[in-house]
Structures are given as structure tokens and as C-alpha cells.
Amino acid sequence: MNESVRRPRAAQPLFEGAEWDFALMQEVYEAVKDVALNDLGLDVFPNQIEVISAEQMLDAYSSVGMPLMYSHWSFGKRFVKDEMLYRKGYQALAYEIVINSNPCISYYMEENSMAMQTLVLAHAAFGHNHFFKNNYLFQQWTSERHPRLSRIFQALCRGMRGEIRAGGGRVGA
């Protein structure tokens, strides 16, 4: 990019140290958003950012990262396996999970340092988001004409009602 076009940046760093809070996350989000939209010209969906615990991240792993999944005994089995590997130090957890939707939903680990939160924010909330919105093959999931996540949610609700009527044992068998 032509250096004469670039806007001057703040002389001070956005943060110091590893600790973060939501006000600092918001400040960093706005700075990253400015670079992503104005300097890089990214075209993104609105962002919905959720900060979750390691336990919640393990839960998201076990349901294949989707917030809308049928309950199934295999998810519990996977949760126990992933939790054991994580607690013993054999497996690390992802820094984030991103859901391709409009708005783009990003789950960040509360255990991340502020530097890691900043990297994950730029990577997930703007990098993945831009790709999801502008990649032809992903548009079928997020297009106004093809709201697949809402259809998945409707199917989930129908399935859960059936499970409640029939009993979990008969539906999951």
C-alpha cells in the first residue's frame, strides 16, 4: 500500500502485559477493526464474540463446534476423552472456534493472554469472517436467500421435540 495513504498510528501500544478485561478487548477490537476494514479493505459480517472457559471449549469440541447439535451419547463420550487428554497435558485446546454464520460467531478462550486474544481476534473475527462472506462455496451457508443455520435450528427443535415425546433412549438408539 502507498505509504502516503496510510493513516498515522498511535505511538503507544494498545496494551501491556498478559491480563485482559472486556473493556480492553473492546478497545483492541476497534483498533483491529479499523485496520481490517480501512487498511485491508475486508468485507465482513457483523461479529458476535463470546469468551468461554476451557470446559465450555471442551463441550464445543464434543459437539463438533456447532452451537446447534442434537444431543447424542457419543458427544459425552468424546467430551470425557478430550477432557482427560487436556487435563493430562496431552492435548491443547484451540484458541478459538468460528461459526460461519451471519453474524459471524467467534468463541475465544478466557485463558488466552491479551496478545493471543488480539491475534485470535484479527484471525477469526476478520480473517475467517471475510473468507466466509466472500468465498463462493461458503455463501450458500450465509446468504440471505439460503439461511441454512436457521433451517438447522428448526430441524434441531423438531428433533428435540421428538426426542422428548419418544424418550431419549429410543431416538438415540
Residue 13 lies in a domain: no
pLDDT at 1: 47
Residue 100: its pLDDT value, please? 80
94-99, long-range: CB < 8 A, 24+ apart: 94/57, 94/61, 95/119, 95/120, 96/120, 96/123, 96/124, 97/57, 97/60, 97/65, 98/124, 98/128, 98/129, 98/132, 99/65, 99/66, 99/67, 99/149
Flag whether 114 is in a domain: yes
| Dihedral over Cα of 54, 34, 133, 149: its sign | positive
pLDDT tens, 125-155? Answer: 999 999 988 988 877 666 665 555 555 555 5
Confidence of residue 168 (pLDDT cuts 50, 70, 90): low
What is the average pLDDT across 57-73? 61
Residue range 13-54, pLDDT digits in tens: 889 999 999 999 999 999 999 999 999 999 999 999 989 888
DSSP strand E in 20-103: where? 47-52, 96-99
For 58, counting Cβ atoms within 10 Å of its Cβ (0-12 exposed, 13-18 middle, 19+ buried), the class is buried
Domain total in the chain: 1
CB 37 within 8 A of CB 137: no
In a domain, 7, yes or no: no
In a domain, 11, yes or no: no
Residue 1 lies in a domain: no
User: Is the residue at 51 inside a domain?
Assistant: yes
Q: Rounded distance, CA 63 to CA 56, Å?
A: 11
Rounded to an integer, what distance in angstroms lies between the CA atom of residue 131 and that of residue 18? Answer: 29
Residue 12 belongs to a domain: no
CA distance linking residue 59 with residue 37, whole number of Å:
33
